[in-house]
């Protein structure tokens, strides 16, 4: 069969360069063994995140010129609103500056009392932080199969529906203010949630009268997996699948820096709850901005309106998901343990398996990330016990069920040749894994510590 290439050609380039190994050793030390603190120009291939790092299309750049920068009632807002309404079927649309902007507006409006629960398949870190800032409790109820990294499953982002119902019964429905479905489930590997599971969540929510929200940063990638893997969806368009999915929710938050293919932007959309909408509208003014711009420039809303459409294109999604799989396959062929199958936006390397000699409180995945930077100038990110932080009640270090290195692939930025280079570096580290050593803190921030922590290799 004829192989398919990236479904675009490159019109503008941004040079990158690999600094010497000696320089990388020095830079990493200066960065406190935390790749977040590296300067981007000291990185060869940057797989820190797929968030806001995508390449916009010529159509998006053209749309930028059409931005209406009116403070109130901008034409660009109405264009964006029309697109979001068409995709979600929801009535009320509010733009925000990015995903966490949506979180800081929504959660204080649904969490009424200290200790109220928000249930999620798996909270993203800022989502959990905003639940906790609003004095709520963030509970993850993902199906355990997500933690079995080497065992194939079509939908490793699914809720454990029994656990979900049991939690509601045990803690009392009056304490549960919402269920959030994160599609795809970033923290378990960018793994998809099936439509069947989404319907199951809706059924339980209806039974108890609980609201359902989507954390829809990567909803188009999720829809593509549903089309590929779930019976009854193969002949539907991605838009049809997305619309059906949103029909089972009461609202959504979206970081548009992912499946909006823009460098900044976010959305809150609410199905029909007018009270929630007006509450969000008034709280967003001091936090984000007037409700027709919410932290975005008119030109950003124009680019987003186009990007949301482009992300629903099936050829694009096929290329996107295949590129992630391409890197995953190369690593698996060399014996590197990864979350299998690969999800939508990243390859997650199972570092608990790579360095069983490093305990969770010495951050094995961070050790692997650092080694990959030294090997190839590649920046990856730790998704494990460093990120998870401490128990808010007891202050003890929490052990993450998974210690992952995320190789996150920006949209439309790197070619498969870049992926080959990434694979070479990771395989080199894997083959030398016995030499990896754990890390301890030089400085530990109180909140979201992984972003600004300074570490050092433990003395042995």
What does DSSP assign to residue 14?
-
Single residue of 34, 76, 127, 222 touching ligand F0G by CB under 6 A: 127
- Site membership for ligand F0G, residue 49 (CB under 6 A): yes
Q: Are 408 and 333 in contact (CB under 8 A)?
A: no
Q: Which residues pair with 138 in a beta bridge?
A: 118
Q: Name the one range near ligand F0G by CB under 6 A: 62-70, 124-132, 307-315, 334-342.
A: 124-132
Q: How far apart are CA 158 and CA 365, in angstroms?
A: 24
Please, what is the minimum distance in Å from the beta carbon of residue 260 to ligand F0G?
Answer: 10
Tokens of residue 228, six digits: 């590929």
What's the order of all strands across the beta sheet hosting 381-383? Answer: 346-350, 404-408, 381-383
Task: Answer yes or no: 346 catalytic.
Answer: no
124 near ligand F0G, judged by CB under 6 A: yes
Annotated catalytic residue 8: no
Q: What is the 3-state secondary structure (H, E, C) of 272-297?
A: CCHHHHHHHHHHHHHHCCCCCCCCCC
Q: What is the dihedral of CA 182, 251, 259, 309, to 10 degrees?
A: 150
To ligand F0G, the closest distance from the beta carbon of 252 in angstroms equals 11
Nearer to ligand F0G, 88 or 127 (CB): 127
What number of CA atoms fall less than 13 Å from residue 418's CA on the CB side?
A: 22
Smallest distance from the beta carbon of 48 to ligand F0G, in angstroms?
Answer: 7
Query: Closest residue (Cβ) to ligand F0G?
Result: 99
Residue 69: closest CA among 318, 300, 333, 305: 300
Q: Which of 35, 54, 67, 99 binds ligand F0G (CB under 6 A)?
A: 99
**Shorter beta-carbon distance to ligand F0G: residue 304 or 436:** 304
Nearer to ligand F0G, 79 or 258 (CB): 258
Say which of 68, 215, 300, 350 is annotated catalytic.
215
SS3 state of residue 213 = strand
- Say if residues 181 and 121 touch (Cβ distance below 8 Å): yes
Q: Which is nearer to ligand F0G, 98 or 339 (CB)?
A: 98
Half-sphere exposure of 319 (CA within 13 A, CB side): 19
- Interface of this chain with ligand F0G, residues 290 to 349, rule: CB under 6 A: none
Quick one: which of 76, 186, 292, 342 contacts ligand F0G (CB under 6 A)?
186
215 included as an active-site residue: yes
304 token code pair: 């987003």
The footprint of ligand F0G on this chain (CB under 6 A) covers a number of residues equal to 15
* Beta carbons within 10 angstroms of residue 288's beta carbon: 24
Does residue 357 have an active-site annotation?
no
Pick the binder of ligand F0G from 120, 255, 366, 370 (CB under 6 A). 255
CA nearest to 261, candidates 54, 23, 1, 24: 54
Given the rule CB under 6 A, which of 54-62, 98-106, 140-148, 200-208 is the region that contacts ligand F0G?
A: 98-106
- Segment 269 to 288, residues that bind ligand F0G, using CB under 6 A: none
Other Cβ atoms within 10 Å of 93 Cβ, number? 23
Shortest spacing between CB 184 and ligand F0G, in angstroms:
8
Listed ranges 12-20, 55-63, 108-116, 119-127: which one lies at the site for ligand F0G (CB under 6 A): 119-127
450 included as an active-site residue: yes
Whether 153 is catalytic is no
Task: Give the separation between CA 336 and CA 423, rounded to whole angstroms.
Answer: 10
Choice between 124 and 248, CB closer to ligand F0G: 124
Q: How many CA atoms lie within 13 A of 384 on its CB side?
A: 26
Q: Does 70 bind ligand F0G (CB under 6 A)?
A: no
Residue closer to ligand F0G, measured from CB, 180 or 355: 180
Cβ-based neighbour number of residue 220 at 10 Å: 29
Q: Is 423 a catalytic residue?
A: no
Q: Cα–Cα distance between 386 and 377 in angstroms, integer? A: 22
Does the footprint of ligand F0G cover residue 98 (CB under 6 A)? yes
Q: Does 51 bind ligand F0G (CB under 6 A)?
A: yes
Could you tell me the sign of the dihedral formed by the alpha carbons of 336, 314, 92, 193, in that order?
negative
Q: Where do contacts with ligand F0G occur on this chain (CB under 6 A)?
A: 49, 51, 98-100, 124, 126-127, 182, 186, 215, 217, 255, 257, 266
Residues tagged active-site: 71, 124-125, 215, 217, 258, 450
């Amino acid at each position: 069969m004829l192989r398919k290439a990236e479904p675009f050609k490159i019109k503008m380039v941004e040079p990158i360069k690999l600094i010497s190994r000696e320089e990388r050793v020095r830079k990493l030390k200066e960065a406190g063994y935390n790749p977040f603190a590296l300067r981007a120009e000291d990185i060869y291939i940057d797989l820190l995140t797929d968030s806001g790092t995508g390449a916009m299309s010529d159509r998006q750049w053209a749309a930028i010129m059409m931005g209406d920068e009116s403070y109130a009632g901008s034409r660009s807002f109405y264009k964006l609103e029309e697109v979001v309404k068409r995709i979600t079927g929801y009535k009320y649309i509010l733009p925000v500056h990015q995903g966490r902007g949506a979180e800081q507006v929504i959660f204080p409006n649904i969490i009424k009392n200290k200790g109220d629960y928000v249930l999620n398949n798996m909270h993203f870190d800022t989502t959990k932080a905003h639940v906790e800032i609003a004095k709520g409790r963030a509970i993850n109820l993902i199906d355990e199969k997500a933690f079995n990294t080497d065992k194939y499953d079509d939908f490793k982002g699914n809720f454990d529906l029994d656990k979900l119902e049991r939690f509601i019964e045990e803690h009392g429905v009056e304490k549960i203010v919402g269920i959030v479905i994160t599609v795809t489930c970033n923290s378990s590997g960018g793994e998809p949630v099936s439509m069947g599971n989404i319907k199951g969540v809706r059924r339980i929510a209806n039974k108890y009268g609980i609201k359902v929200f989507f954390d829809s940063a990567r909803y188009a990638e999720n829809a593509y997996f549903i089309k590929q893997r779930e019976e009854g969806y193969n002949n539907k368009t991605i838009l049809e699948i997305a619309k059906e999915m949103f029909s089972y929710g009461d609202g959504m938050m979206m970081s548009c820096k992912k499946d909006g293919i823009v460098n900044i932007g976010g959305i809150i959309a609410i199905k029909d709850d007018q009270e929630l909408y007006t509450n969000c509208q008034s709280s967003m003014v001091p936090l984000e901005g007037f409700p027709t711009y919410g932290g975005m420039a008119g030109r950003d809303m124009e680019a987003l309106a186009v990007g949301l459409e482009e992300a629903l294109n099936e050829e694009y999604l096929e290329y996107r998901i295949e590129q992630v799989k391409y890197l995953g396959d190369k690593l698996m062929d060399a014996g590197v343990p990864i979350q299998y199958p690969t999800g939508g936006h990243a390859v997650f390397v199972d570092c608990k398996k790579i360095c069983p000699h490093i305990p969770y409180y010495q951050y094995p995945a961070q050790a692997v990330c650092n080694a990959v930077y030294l090997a190839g100038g590649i920046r990856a990110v730790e998704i494990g016990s460093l990120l998870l932080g401490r128990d808010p009640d007891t202050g003890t270090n929490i052990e993450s069920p998974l210690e992952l290195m995320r190789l996150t692939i920006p949209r439309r930025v790197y070619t498969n040749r870049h992926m080959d280079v990434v694979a070479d570096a990771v395989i080199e580290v894997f083959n030398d894994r016995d030499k990896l050593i754990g890390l301890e803190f030089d400085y530990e921030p109180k909140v979201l510590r992984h972003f600004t922590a300074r570490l050092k290799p433990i003395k042995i």
